[in-house]
Amino acid sequence: MRAPLDGIKVLDMAWVGPGPFCATLLGDLGAEIIKIHEPQPERRGSLIMYAFPNTPAFPGLRNCKSMGLDLKSAGGRKIFHELAKTADVLIESFRPGVMKRLGIDYGTLSQLNPGLVYASLTGYGQDGPYRDLPGHDINYISVGGLLGMTGVAGGPPVIPGLLVADMAAGGIGTALGVVAALRARDITGRGQLVDMSITDGVAELMSMWINPLLTYGIEYRRGETMFTGLYPWYNVYETGDGKHISVGALEPYFYAALCKALGREDFVPHQFAEGEKREEIFRHFREMFLQKPRDEWVEELKAQCCVAPVYTIEELVKDPQLLARGMIKDLPHPRLGSVKQVGSMLKLSETPFRVRNWCTRFGEHTDEVLSGLGYDAAAIESLRRNETVS
């Protein structure tokens, strides 16, 4: 059975953060991912984290190929143009204007390949007053409002434990934009530019708090909403063993079951209590959860009250639900034999996720890619001697 994106060739030039995650999602769906990097990427400290074989995060990158190519040389640009003619998708995350200076911008490449889907993934987008500013995840969640809403009431903003802007707003958002543009190409026959701003993505993720302000003038603040710690029934509690449990008893029947389990059915009519009554409920819940270990509370409450253990990373990789869903699994690896990795969130009944290949070193597939363009061994060796490729 063919994978959903089987036959789709992606040129991936986005080497940090959201770009690789986007490419991983597309590769897991069957696309051929060719990562284009400079001939000697080890010279740049920003890329050392991706020196595949020896990093803790990556024993290699799955479902992709690696090619070293000097885009500042005439020969390198010629090869890239040849690749672009055969590609379906390009992903890049340079600052606006860089690709144009290299002669590989959307306007240029769309003339060579009208069907090309060209995804430009940047912090602030291709236009607007911030377009040329540098930034990282923490900056994008600041402008997008997420950082300002994260933390307890009266306390400072707290950095989330995940690069939400990069991975969700950037990586997943761009992958969705690419798939949508490919579908549009099925209808129109033409590709298009996907202008993805990570900050735009964060703002859309924050729409549940932004829209009430725009529509009704209601402004929500950090720690003062039902989903950010205002009420006792949607909160985190320390347990008797020093661990923590999350409680999400939002619906009245879940809240009633929680109150009963914690010995205070008289709290049931006061789910949305304010002031001293709310603090009384908080105090009781805190005292009760300290009386037993976390896992005992989870076992006692999980079927009736919407609770879950707050895991460390070491704990989550052993969770039976994640194991049953294939989110932590052994994958075949060309050098290690087998390696435990996070699986794919995408569960398609007819075309399940599989690993087709790995990239374990820079430039590993350069010869293969060039051969596919018609270059013979002598020509490839000549290109390598003058450092056009690696």
Is-catalytic flag, 284?
no
Interacting residues of 88 by C-beta distance below 8 A, sequence separation 6+? 8, 9, 10, 31, 115, 116, 117, 182, 191
Residue 121 near residue 137 (C-beta atoms within 8 A): no
Q: How far is CA 145 from CA 129, 162, 289, 296, in A?
A: 18, 15, 32, 37
Among residues 70, 88, 137, 166, the one annotated as catalytic is 166
Helices (H), 39-197: 74-86, 98-101, 106-112, 137-143, 164, 173-188
Q: How far is CA 359 from CA 53, 107, 157, in A?
A: 9, 31, 39
Rg (CA), the chain: 25
Q: 247-252 long-range CB contacts below 8 Å, 24 or more apart? A: 247/285, 247/305, 247/306, 247/307, 248/306, 248/307, 248/308, 249/305, 249/306, 249/307, 250/226, 250/306
Q: How far is CA 10 from CA 14, 117, 120, in A?
A: 11, 9, 13
Tell me how far apart the alpha carbons of residues 122 and 19 are, in angstroms, rounded to a whole number: 10
Among residues 136, 270, 284, 333, the one annotated as catalytic is 136
Strands 32-37 and 9-12: parallel
Is-catalytic flag, 186?
no
Tell me how far apart the alpha carbons of residues 211 and 8 are, in angstroms, rounded to a whole number: 37
Residue 12 near residue 35 (C-beta atoms within 8 A): yes
User: How far does the chain reach from its first CA to its final CA, in angstroms?
Assistant: 34
Catalytic residue numbers? 136, 166
